[in-house]
Amino acid sequence: MSNENNTILGIDVNLICEFFLNTERQGPGSPEVTLKALSFIDHLTDHSRIADLGCGTGGQTMTLARHAPGQITGLDFFPGFVERFNHNARVLNLQERVKGIVGSMDALPFGEEELDLIWSEGAIYNIGFERGLNEWRKYLKTGGYVAVSESSWFTEERPAEIHDFWMSVYEEIDTIPNKVAQIQKAGYIPVATFILPEYCWTENYFTPLVKAREIFSRKYAGNKTVEELISFQHHEAELYRKYKEFYGYVFYIAKKIK
Ligand SMILES: C[S@@+](CC[C@H](N)C(=O)[O-])C[C@H]1O[C@@H](n2cnc3c(N)ncnc32)[C@H](O)[C@@H]1O
């Protein structure tokens, strides 16, 4: 989440937003993974209300909309992403069922027990996994689902370099069993967990970033902030290549029981 200086990891959020407008996805994932997570969710109808929190430009939302019935609200905190989201919905002729709105996941504009499904790919970390699960629960109907992807450790122990990196960017990263216990404690039945395949990071996330970086470094040649953003991304990709057996994204699907 950004702070009062409007920075993420010390980098101006507007620049980050502009950068990611040049990419289809803003985090690791794939349409196959979105559909796999969706396959664990039952009872959706044309009357269902779905929210995609931290939707970005809506890559995963449009996949969801083409395979699930109901009304979908995408919510993101960057107006530029929401504008692109609504444009994408219009291009796919989904605008009657899919709407993007600007908002924050820590102050949701939904009524209590209004939603059948809360979706959030690679975004719950902005509020924190446990806080998100606890706070979002009241917006779900009994029997409603939450489906989120979240960075997780695959092993109990790991090399100091990757441990320290994650402690500096997201201290709440944890093992899958610990995340599942948090889900249970927050009042849901854990329904499924699965690890996102490697191509979701490499082909679908890191590779498109290379082109976006080329565009950006031409436009902002010599800009220190842009250089920092690019060097952070190189570091992130390099760490993934080196330590991918120790961490990754995991999809967690859970049901609100009462
Ligand atoms: C890593 S991106 C994931 C985007 C998208 N779900 C995807 O998988 O491509 C995280 C998203 O969370 C959004 N975000 C950050 N803080 C937020 C907040 N407090 N409320 C809503 N969205 C937020 C960012 O603008 C960004 O679009």
Residue 248 in any domain: the answer is: yes
pLDDT digits (tens, 9 = 90+) for 153-168: 999 999 999 999 999 9
Predicted pLDDT at 50: 98
CA-2 nearest atom, ligand 1: 16
Asked whether the beta carbons of 254 and 41 are under 8 A apart, the reply is no
pLDDT digits (tens, 9 = 90+) for 83-117: 999 999 999 999 999 999 999 999 999 999 999 99
Confidence of residue 5 (pLDDT cuts 50, 70, 90): low
- Count of domains for the chain: 1
pTM flag (> 0.85): yes
pLDDT digits (tens, 9 = 90+) for 224-234: 888 988 999 99
Predicted pLDDT at 10: 63
**Cα first-last separation, the chain:** 30
- Name residue, tokens 């970033």: 209
Q: Which residue in 84, 135, 76 sits closest to 106, CA to CA?
A: 135
Nearest protein Cα to ligand 1, atom 10: 123
Higher-confidence residue: 43 or 8? 43
Q: Following CA atoms 217, 223, 228, 233 in sequence, which dihedral angle do they give, to the nearest 10 degrees? A: -10
Higher-confidence residue: 120 or 216? 120
Residue 2 in any domain: the answer is: no
Q: Following CA atoms 45, 52, 175, 178 in sequence, which dihedral angle do they give, to the nearest 10 degrees? A: -60
- The tokens for 207 are 């590779």
Confidence of residue 169 (pLDDT cuts 50, 70, 90): very high
Residue 55 in any domain: the answer is: yes
Predicted pLDDT at 22: 81
Residues whose beta carbon lies within 6 Å of some atom of ligand 1: 1, 25-27, 29, 54-56, 59-60, 75-78, 81, 104-106, 121-123, 126
pLDDT digits (tens, 9 = 90+) for 244-253: 999 999 999 9
Nearest protein Cα to ligand 1, atom 24: 54
Confidence of residue 57 (pLDDT cuts 50, 70, 90): very high
pLDDT above 70 covers what percent of the chain? 96
- The tokens for 182 are 């948090």
Residue 1 in any domain: the answer is: no
256 conformational bin, left if phi > 0, alpha if psi -120 to 50, beta if neither: beta
Predicted pLDDT at 9: 61
Asked whether the beta carbons of 253 and 146 are under 8 A apart, the reply is yes
Confidence of residue 16 (pLDDT cuts 50, 70, 90): confident
Predicted pLDDT at 13: 81
Rounded to whole angstroms, the Cα distance separating 87 from 89 reads: 5
Report DSSP state, residue 197.
Answer: P
CA-106 nearest atom, ligand 1: 19
Q: Exposed, middle or buried by CB within 10 Å (0-12, 13-18, 19+), for 241?
A: exposed
CA distances 95 to 62, 65, 130, 153, Å, are: 10, 10, 32, 38
CA-28 nearest atom, ligand 1: 8
Mean pLDDT of 55-81: 96
Predicted pLDDT at 2: 47
Q: Which residues constitute the domain of residue 80?
A: 7-256
Task: CATH number of the domain at 112, please.
Answer: 3.40.50.150
Residue 241 in any domain: the answer is: yes
Asked whether the beta carbons of 143 and 45 are under 8 A apart, the reply is no
Nearest protein Cα to ligand 1, atom 27: 56
Predicted pLDDT at 101: 98
Asked whether the beta carbons of 50 and 119 are under 8 A apart, the reply is yes
Ligand 1 center to 76 CA (angstroms): 6
Using the predicted structure, report yes or no on whether residue 216 has a pLDDT greater than 80.
yes
pLDDT digits (tens, 9 = 90+) for 22-34: 888 899 999 999 9
User: Which one of 55, 131, 148 would you pick to mutate in the ligand 1 pocket, going by the greatest count of ligand atoms within 8 A of its CB?
Assistant: 55
Ligand 1 center to 14 CA (angstroms): 13
